[in-house]
Amino acid sequence: MNLATNKTIIRDATENDAKEILDLVRELAIYEKAEDQVTATVEDYQKSLKSHKIFCKLAEIEGKVVGIALYYETFSTWRGLMYYLEDFVVKKAYRGHGIGQLLMDAYIDEAKKAGAVLVKWQVLDWNEPAVNFYQKMGATIEKEWWNVKMFL
């Protein structure tokens, strides 16, 4: 049975969805062996959703949030308007039914509607299922750039 075709609703998140979003972010962090690094709060998500600093597409089945694509607008100085996908996760029990593709399509559609010329995200090199999914979509995986960050 293809859950995505039969039962999935993709919708925009609101600040009222902050707890469910954070729960899925934590699930992703556990999968990535980095649960202790999640320090954002429900209030952080509420504030950022309300002020449109972040956007999120939710996948729901029978009223239950089963996946997210959380993103924001940014700007590529070489290309122009860009949408950056910060987190993309489908609950383990719901994977393999096309829900991830529905979320990714919704994210890309939003970027196109906004006039973005590029969408971008990261994937861990050991996350083979994700790498395969992105390659199947036709995405380019850049391996020459290193991540740089500084906590404030």
For the chain, how big is the Rg over CA atoms in Å?
15
Which residue out of 31, 45, 83, 134 is catalytically annotated? 134
Q: E strands of the chain, at which residues?
A: 8-12, 55-61, 64-76, 80-90, 118-121
Spatial distance between the Cα atoms of 56 and 148, rounded to a whole number of angstroms: 24
> Is 107 a known active-site residue?
no
Which residues does the annotation mark as catalytic? Answer: 134
